Amino acid sequence: MTAKALPGDPPGGRRAALVWGVGTLVYLVAVIHRTSLGVAGIDAAARFHIGASALSSFSILQVLVYAGMQIPVGLMVDSLGTKRVLMLGAVLFTVGQGAFALSHSYGMALGARAVLGCGDAMTFVSVLRLGSRWFPARRGPMVAQGAALFGVAGNLVSTVALSRLLHSAGWTPTFLGTAIGGAFVLVLVALFLKDHPDGYVPAPAEHAGLAYVRRQITDAWREPGTRLGMWTHFTTQFSGMVFLLLWGMPFLVEDQGMSRGGAGGLLTLVVVANMVFGMLFGQLIARHRGARMPLTLGVIAATAGAWAAVLGWPGGHDPLWLLVVLCVVLGACGPGSMIGFDFARPANPPERFGTASGIVNIGGFTASMIMLLAIGVLLDATDQDYRVAWSSVFVLQVVGTVQILRLRRRTERLERERIAVSRVESVHRGRETAVRD
């Protein structure tokens, strides 16, 4: 089924692309900050004199703050607008990254990552809302995947540029340099970003009080499409996220015996594959909405199969070709998680989409937080047995897949009913217009 233009849709165009581009640039810089620890995990362990569990605490706390902020951020975006929320987010993740650059103690560094996670949490939902205000609804899948591609580009900067800069310039100059990038995008938002195009001002709504908050969250959660989106995000995203965020580099270097350069090349492959899959998934879903569920289940099955092959390979190190296959498959995790927003979008009106997006976004980051903690604890408990630690991936996949299958049919039925009602209303509006003319 191909998405159609809806009455009252914003027109898109060059102005929309420019404004949306500024917002996604903020998201790109936020992802650089978020994933910078992924190439510095070994250096961080040496700098702060910590073990695997303590090292995982950096990313766990950051992701915990990120996940916990998603519903509040969704409410903030719905009530305050995108520009204010993005500016606040840029201030927070810039301050957090700067403090992390100057940290010499574990406690101070941990607090800095928490502040960074709070600012990072304000970016992606804001960019999704910005896209829904500036582009027609039929562009929704491409806008979501396009925003994700900016995040992938930020990840690419971390895995390629920051890893080299870290070992040439050192800890403090590297992290301070990325913090300066945050200050730069803050200025861009202040000068060029606008919440909505002229002539498309959203209808005024009550955005105050506990009753509003309760109603927004309750109405969004009641929609099976929102919950299906959350579990889709939960089940598809975490494996690739954890690999890039923290544990991919140590796994490849310490368990597989690769050099840092070789391991960095495989992390880069994950990012490049993410970009390719993102473009493919966005185009396919924009033209055929029925592809969402097959793509979701396909990503889950491919990820489980790749990890089963890697972890079950007999002997010591896995062959390089198998690690390459794993990294290509992990590249599909991010684009797969974006499908969650495509399940939630038709189920929620524009004035509630920020809140619904926050609920969806909680899914993958909650799973990532659980996985980060599980790997750290299992590594310490098993004397650094990465194969046992990474086996925890299958538990979360089973839990999420059961929920996806449980919610699938009801979501599809309600979406078909809404489409039928929308078509009838469009016909009536057309007849009324013809009569007036």
Q: Which residue has the higher pLDDT, 70 or 305?
A: 305
CA distance 383 to 393: 19
Q: What are phi and psi of 104, to 5 degrees?
A: -125, -10
pLDDT given for residue 202 in this prediction: 64
How many C-beta atoms lie closer than 10 Å to residue 21's C-beta? 14
CA distances from 329 to 7, 78, 207, 394 (A): 39, 35, 42, 15
Give whichever of 132-136, 145-149, 286-290, 335-339 has the largest mean pLDDT: 335-339
pLDDT-based confidence at residue 427 (cuts at 50, 70, 90): very low
Q: How confident is the model at residue 163 (pLDDT cuts 50, 70, 90)?
A: confident
Q: Is the pLDDT assigned to residue 222 strictly greater than 90?
A: yes
Query: At residue 213, does pLDDT exceed 90?
Result: no
Does domain 223-418 fall under CATH 3.90.79.10? My reply is no
Taking CA atoms, 324 is separated from 257, 273, 309, 330, 372, in Å, by 15, 11, 12, 10, 22
Region of residue 170 (left: phi > 0; alpha: psi -120 to 50; beta: else): left
Give me the pLDDT at residue 125, please: 86
Q: What is the pLDDT of residue 210?
A: 78
The residue-averaged pLDDT of 36-63 equals 84
User: So what's the pLDDT on residue 1?
Assistant: 46
Per-residue model confidence (pLDDT) at position 2 = 46
pLDDT of the residue at 207 = 55
The C-alpha angle 249, 255, 256, rounded to 5 degrees, equals 85
* pLDDT value at residue 206: 59
CA distances from 318 to 110, 250, 258, 300 (A): 34, 15, 11, 22
All CATH 1.20.1250.20 domain ranges in the chain, comma separated: 14-195, 223-418
- 178 or 204, greater pLDDT: 178
**Residue whose tokens read 């799973």:** 367
pLDDT, tens digit, 9 for 90 and up, residues 105-138:
999 999 999 999 999 999 988 988 888 788 877 7
The architecture that CATH gives domain 14-195 is Up-down Bundle (1.20)
Q: What is the mean pLDDT of residues 88-104?
A: 95
Q: What is the pLDDT of residues 291-329, one digit of tens each?
A: 999 999 999 999 999 999 999 998 778 999 999 999 999
Is the pLDDT at 275 greater than 80? The verdict is: yes
pTM of the model: 0.76
Distance CA 195, CA 187 (A): 16
Which of 151-160, 178-187, 194-203 is the least confident region?
A: 194-203
Question: pLDDT of 374-412, one tens digit each?
Answer: 998 999 899 989 999 999 999 999 999 999 999 999 998
In whole angstroms, give the CA distance from residue 354 to residue 132: 10
pLDDT of residue 150: 85
- Identify the pLDDT of residue 266: 93
